Structure 1
Amino acid sequence: MSTADLILMADRIHTLAGDGLPTAIAVADGVITALGDRSGARDWRGPCTEVIDLGDATITPGLVDGHFHPVMGIGLTRGVDLSGVRTINDLECALRGVAVEPGGWLEGWGLDPNVFAGAPITHEPLVAAVGPDIPVFLLLFDAHSALVSPRALELAGITGPRTFTSGASVVCDAARRPTGHLLEIEAFDLVRVLLPDDGPADRRARLAALLRRMAACGLTAANAMDFEADSLDLFGALEDDGDLPVRWRCAPFVMPGAGRDGLDDVIARQHLAGRRWEVRGAKFMIDGTIDGGTAWLDEPDSHGESTACLWPDPAGYAAAARFLARHDIPIVTHAIGDAGVRYVLDTYAGLARTTVPHRIEHLETMPTELIDQLAALDVTASMQPTHCTGYVRADHTDNWSTRLGKRRADRAFRARDLRDRGARLVLGSDWPIAPFDPREIMAAARLRRPAGSRDVEPVLPEQALTARMALEGYTSEAAAAEGLSDVTGRLIPGHAADLTVFSRDPLTTPADELSEIDFPMTVVGGRIAHRS
């Protein structure tokens, strides 16, 4: 073998290939060239080899976030972080403390609908906090709905109900007056387009900082569930300055009403790529969210909502998916409700097989027969454990569970059933909907409650993953989902040298202690992307 560019040594190296527990790994030209023990590592050295002994650390395949919104996310996370708000009083206090320039907007994000404790979501707290003359735009935590002030409605010319191409809506009271609650992207975009733009330099800086934070959390790659607006310019500009610290596979959105021109544009984008990013796939949404009443359920929720597909004619979704799949474009579909998951799986059953398997994102509530169908079709299930542990309560008193009722809430986020029945399961964050720290997410997958919160009752603990399953969801399962099992996801010679270094062993560390683990180093393509 050729001499190594980099040799890492650690007390444990989990290859996920079932071939023992080596303590040294060699890398050359971006790929793994050898594994063995510390004593044999001297044979791999050359005059320019960098050798690092990480001591009592653990090396694993590089972690991959299964669902992320990098470019969209840096635009959505503007203003006040409201993710810690728990009551109406908290919300009003958070808004009162924000300075707004004359003629400016008050923006916020991450607002949990549970703040309203089951009451209608209206702009009354906004008016109470800042008065009627300040335009306010608050994105709810799911990024599928927003709450805006009367002044914002006025500036957008929203005076009553609207008709949209998708299942979006302007929520109105009995007198047909807008309440300020805007459901789904088409509706809240009526206001969002009025917000001041970030400059290109600021957006580049924010994206670069985000990627550095991701690498510092052990992430070597992620699946971007958008490729819109200035994505090409941003990725290109960052690569002009050097290699990205995280690899990306991007899937452009296909929204209702896209038409043939929109589909042709998605096909054309598949040829776009850089050194560490590429466009591969097409992202659809078959429904919205349970919390917002826009999911697609077999039976209405407790508010009489969540009864329809996001596409006015579901057949339009199926036709678009068939068209793109014939061009070897993998289909990625957001499907949360049981009816939505069923329709997507029935659609996938008739699609052409693609090089990269088709995927379903979220899968929040579904009966067992759909799990079996998913596994039989070789469809990737992509789930976000902290969506469950952060917003759902075991006693069903949260907004999500109350809307569904006990029967459907008792089949929530069925991660273990998916694995046990042979389905491929990848894990991720859906940032900025939830934080992207993989330690928190793997802990949530194992505990079914937030790490460190031992007094919190787990949500359906029988759905907990093992420590190895949680790690596989970020590594070998993620590689298989991208059709890359032959080149990444395990640590064996010839595979890409994407490595994550944990200060402790993630397979033996108690889940409640995962957050105490550090990431001393992250390696992408054989080069150190992060070193603490």
Structure 2
Amino acid sequence: MYRREARDPARTVPRATYIAVGFLGLFYAFIVWTGLVDCHSHPVWGLEMATGLDLSSVRDLGGLRAALAAAERIDGWVIGFGLDHNVFGGRPVDRALIEDVLDGAPAFLRLYDGHSALVTDAALRAAGVTGPRTFAQRSHLATDADGRLTGHLVEHAAMDLVGEILPRPSHTERRTRLVELLSAMAATGLTGAHVMDLGDLDLVDAVARETVLPVRLRFAPWCMPGADKDALEELVTLQGRGGRHWRVGGVKFFMDGTVEGGTAWLEHPDCHGQGTDAFWPDPSAYSDAVRHLHRAGVRTATHAIGDAAVRHVLDTVESLGPGSHLAHRVEHIESVPDDTVGRFAGLGLIASMQPPHTGYTRADRSDEWSLRLGDERASRAWRLRDLRDAGAVVALGSDWPIAHYDARAVLATARTPRGAASARAGLTGLQALEGCTTHAGLAAGEAAFAGRIAEGFRADLTALGLDPVDAPADEVAEAPVRLTVTGGQIVHRGA
């Protein structure tokens, strides 16, 4: 389907005919596809998340301590991101493991999953945090057996206590970084991203007025526990706000946290006895909020990693009736049983998954994710192919900055999942490509004008130096990106 359309660009892409005419040789030198879309990303909020020292290459506690000892200070703080839970080797995440190498400096280190952070005593004191707190969401400040704060801040509300006092880059710095990031994303073939947060719309609008955004951004603001009717109506009012190459479309929920953090909602506890609670203390309140937004015509996306969380979202969508078909989606779906897999297609619930996340696990199941779940649940890791074979729409993304934004890596790991998921069959080359094109269009409710090359559709194109459907996955991961076109504008031209 894709290749037939690509070989007659003048007929199938009339809105971008001038590209075909001006660069006609390109269409025969390499293959042009409809533009690739990252279906789960945080390019604006991620600028804050990916600040400071990149800890993603640290593999053990010794390496972490060495990196922190040599780290540059940002206004007196040590700030880091991308820290793998496996670094702690099964130990509790505790500030006592790192404080002696920091010379008393306050530190804020984001764990790779974005749902927890490790901070030092100096950071807690700077934020005025002296003991446990209670929150409207399932979030907490971890303590040891003696009631001492360990510095492990679990989930968003706890992280915000310290995160809100961190040094902030200037508007000019953030603008520059955003343009650089979106340009780098376009260089991997991306023409669009489903942004799973509200970001900073004023910043985005300012940049979009000054220059062409290389990547289309579709924002989904968060709806958190405790949201009342007025808060829901504010989310409804936000829908459709936008400018050139950006708009608000949808609302993001959280039904749970992460397996490694002990906050994924599981049908049975993990090996530490954790994972038995939903992110919404009253799950029925989540369902009520989804129903309210559904009646208002608002699409929703729900973070649900554990089997209990995914099941609750399925039950909620089922309660909406037939009008919910392809209107709602679930993000992540890291471990679910057979009966859950089979329900997606029938309900028209879209599965949005991030194949690069499989790289944080290990094939021998010695990683924190697998150990917490146990062999049976770890064997159900990232069931991409099972969901597709069962007839579900499967949209693909990276969840940057949790994993790298490179669209080629998303395509490659969808075909050859890593770690605990490596024993399972991956997607075919065509299925992987559909996950970033046609299924991306379905996931955004934009299938009538996005996701393929056809008359009247968006002039978003990605030209690769090989065929991502037929080429081996490892070659796709390194494929030359010859051209990226967003809205008829050339935003990247390769060598």
Q: Indicate the TM-score class for this superposition, using the shorter chain for normalisation.
A: over 0.9
The structure with more helix, counted as a fraction of residues = 2
Write the distance in 2 (CA, Å) between the matches of 1:30 and 1:267.
35
Do the aligned partners of 2:114 and 2:402 also contact (CA within 8 Å) in 1? yes
Deviations 1:74-120 (A, max 9, x none): 1111100000000001001111112326x611100000010011111
User: Sequence identity of aligned pairs in percent?
Assistant: 45
TM-score in terms of structure 2 length: 0.95
Write the distance in 1 (CA, Å) between the matches of 2:324 and 2:220.
14
In structure 2, the partner of 1:368 is: 338
Do the aligned partners of 1:31 and 1:525 also contact (CA within 8 Å) in 2? no
Displacement of 1:468 after TM fit?
Answer: 0.9
Say which SS state the counterpart of residue 9 (structure 2) adopts.
strand
Q: Which moved more, 1:231-240 or 1:21-30?
A: 21-30
For 1:463, the aligned partner's letter is A
Are 1:126 and 2:98 counterparts?
yes
For 2:337, the aligned partner's letter is P
Say which SS state the counterpart of residue 152 (structure 2) adopts.
strand
For 2:257, the aligned partner's letter is G
In structure 2, the partner of 1:348 is: 317
In structure 1, the partner of 2:381 is: 412
Say which SS state the counterpart of residue 311 (structure 1) adopts.
coil
In structure 1, the partner of 2:194 is: 223
Displacement of 1:216 after TM fit?
Answer: 0.7
Deviations 1:427-486 (A, max 9, x none): 00001100010111211111122xxxxxxx773433311111111111111112222223
In structure 2, the partner of 1:37 is: none
Write the distance in 2 (CA, Å) between the matches of 1:245 and 1:59.
17
Do the aligned partners of 1:67 and 1:224 also contact (CA within 8 Å) in 2? yes
Say which SS state the counterpart of residue 109 (structure 1) adopts.
strand
In structure 2, the partner of 1:73 is: 46
Displacement of 1:158 after TM fit?
Answer: 2.2
Are 1:111 and 2:83 counterparts?
yes
Deviations 1:168-217 (A, max 9, x none): 01000111110111100100111111111221111111111111011111
Q: Which runs of 5+ in 1 are unaligned?
A: 1-13, 35-40, 450-456
- Across the aligned residues of Structure 1 and Structure 2, the Cα RMSD in angstroms comes to 2.0
In structure 2, the partner of 1:11 is: none
Are 1:190 and 2:177 counterparts?
no
Say which SS state the counterpart of residue 521 (structure 1) adopts.
strand
Are 1:205 and 2:176 counterparts?
yes
Say which SS state the counterpart of residue 350 (structure 1) adopts.
helix
1:311 to 266, 280, 295: 280
Distance 1:469 1:28, change over 3 A: closer
Say which SS state the counterpart of residue 169 (structure 2) adopts.
coil
Write the distance in 2 (CA, Å) between the matches of 1:369 and 1:480.
24
Deviations 1:320-370 (A, max 9, x none): 111111100011100000000011110111226359620000001111111
TM-score in terms of structure 1 length: 0.89
Do the aligned partners of 2:35 and 2:190 also contact (CA within 8 Å) in 1? yes
Say which SS state the counterpart of residue 59 (structure 2) adopts.
coil
Displacement of 1:259 after TM fit?
Answer: 1.7
Do the aligned partners of 2:416 and 2:425 also contact (CA within 8 Å) in 1? no
Q: Which moved more, 1:248-257 or 1:511-520?
A: 511-520
For 2:2, the aligned partner's letter is T
For 2:96, the aligned partner's letter is E
Displacement of 1:516 after TM fit?
Answer: 2.5
Displacement of 1:27 after TM fit?
Answer: 8.2
In structure 2, the partner of 1:357 is: 327
In structure 2, the partner of 1:3 is: none
In structure 1, the partner of 2:111 is: 140
Distance 1:125 1:508, change over 3 A: same
For 2:352, the aligned partner's letter is S
In structure 1, the partner of 2:492 is: 530
Displacement of 1:125 after TM fit?
Answer: 3.0
Write the distance in 1 (CA, Å) between the matches of 2:254 and 2:143.
24
Write the distance in 2 (CA, Å) between the matches of 1:56 and 1:458.
39
In structure 2, the partner of 1:251 is: 220
Rg larger for = 1
Displacement of 1:21 after TM fit?
Answer: 6.5
Do the aligned partners of 1:15 and 1:492 also contact (CA within 8 Å) in 2? no
In structure 2, the partner of 1:156 is: 127
Do the aligned partners of 1:32 and 1:495 also contact (CA within 8 Å) in 2? no
Displacement of 1:32 after TM fit?
Answer: 5.1
For 1:97, the aligned partner's letter is A
Displacement of 1:380 after TM fit?
Answer: 0.7
